[in-house]
């Protein structure tokens, strides 16, 4: 068996609370946080900006291999263009499941994620972190919640009042993410599943931090943290 790496993987469907929980857990444990959804969203913003069709696998793959994405202090930029607001907008949200299903897009971004976080000390959130990107992550958590609860949270987050619309968008993305042939969304065999319907983000984060302390801190292992941003 390979040595575990100091990565805390958090996977799960949209609206399960991954981003909020990952930020809280990272703060509790003094780790850094990588939102891999933001990488897929950034590539999608670049694809739309260049007028490329989201179903054009080859051109989307070229974009993913070529662009430079920077994530820092909650801001996202692609080749120096700030796309922080755009990546959360309706256009990117509608196209991202299709763009992120292309194998060449995934290959480029998986490599990027491994380079960033391989030295450990990272909380990495996404859809395939425990299954594909870091199969040796020391702790894998699969966060989930019922579609109606996830829709309510997402609606609050984006200021949308039409709950049915948000829920059907969430269900559409769930289906796209979990049925794509390359790296479908699913819990890793050794993931701990946490259902967040009746828990606050603080409660979920505290539970995950406790799991990490048992798994990692008590193993006596350490990690090397990169010094640059």
Q: Is 126 in the site for ligand DC (CB under 6 A)?
A: yes
- Using the minimum distance from each CB to ligand DC, give the nearer residue, 95 or 138: 95
- Using the minimum distance from each CB to ligand DC, give the nearer residue, 23 or 221: 23
Beta carbons of 38 and 71 less than 8 angstroms apart: yes
Shortest distance, position 177 Cβ to ligand DC, whole Å: 5
Q: Is 127 in the site for ligand DC (CB under 6 A)?
A: yes
Candidates 34, 64, 76, 96; binder of ligand DC (CB under 6 A) is: 96
Shortest distance, position 220 Cβ to ligand DC, whole Å: 30
Q: For residues 209 and 34, what is the distance between their CA atoms, to the nearest angstrom?
A: 16
Q: Is 97 in the site for ligand DC (CB under 6 A)?
A: yes
- Using the contact rule CB under 6 A, the part of the chain among 32-40, 69-77, 159-167, 190-198 near ligand DC is 32-40
Q: Is 14 in the site for ligand DC (CB under 6 A)?
A: yes
Beta carbons of 142 and 130 less than 8 angstroms apart: yes
Q: For residues 225 and 34, what is the distance between their CA atoms, to the nearest angstrom?
A: 14
**Three-state SS letters, 151-204:** HHHHHHHHCCCCHHHHHHHHHHHHHHHHHCCCCCCCCCCCCEEEECCCCCHHHH
- Using the contact rule CB under 6 A, the part of the chain among 94-102, 115-123, 145-153, 162-170 near ligand DC is 94-102
- Using the minimum distance from each CB to ligand DC, give the nearer residue, 40 or 142: 40
- Using the minimum distance from each CB to ligand DC, give the nearer residue, 165 or 213: 165
Site for ligand DC in 143-182 (CB under 6 A): 173, 177
Q: Is 191 in the site for ligand DC (CB under 6 A)?
A: no
Candidates 33, 41, 140, 153; binder of ligand DC (CB under 6 A) is: 41
- Using the minimum distance from each CB to ligand DC, give the nearer residue, 53 or 103: 103
- Using the minimum distance from each CB to ligand DC, give the nearer residue, 167 or 177: 177
Judged by the rule CB under 6 A, the positions of this chain that interact with ligand DC are 14, 36-37, 40-41, 96-97, 100, 126-128, 173, 177
């Amino acid at each position: 068996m390979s040595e575990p790496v100091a990565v805390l993987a958090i996977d799960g469907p949209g609206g399960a609370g991954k981003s909020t929980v990952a930020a809280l857990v990272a703060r509790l444990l003094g780790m850094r946080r990588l939102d891999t959804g933001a990488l897929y969203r950034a590539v999608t913003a670049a694809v739309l900006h260049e007028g490329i069709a989201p179903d054009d696998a080859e051109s989307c793959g070229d974009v993913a291999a070529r662009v430079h994405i920077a994530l820092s202090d909650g801001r996202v930029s692609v080749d120096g263009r700030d796309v922080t607001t755009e990546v959360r907008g309706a256009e990117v949200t509608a196209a991202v499941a299709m763009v992120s299903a292309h194998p060449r897009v995934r290959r480029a971004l998986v490599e990027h994620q491994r380079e960033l976080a391989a030295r450990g000390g990272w909380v990495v959130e996404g859809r395939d972190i425990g299954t594909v990107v870091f199969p040796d992550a020391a702790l894998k958590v699969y966060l989930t919640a019922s579609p109606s609860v996830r829709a309510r949270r997402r609606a609050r987050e984006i200021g949308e009042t039409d709950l049915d619309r948000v829920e059907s968008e969430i269900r559409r993305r769930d289906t796209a993410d979990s049925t794509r042939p390359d790296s479908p969304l699913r819990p890793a065999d050794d993931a701990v599943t946490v259902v967040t319907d009746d828990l606050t983000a603080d409660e979920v984060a505290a539970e995950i931090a406790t799991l990490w302390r048992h798994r990692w801190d008590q193993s006596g292992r350490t990690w090397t943290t990169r010094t640059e941003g």
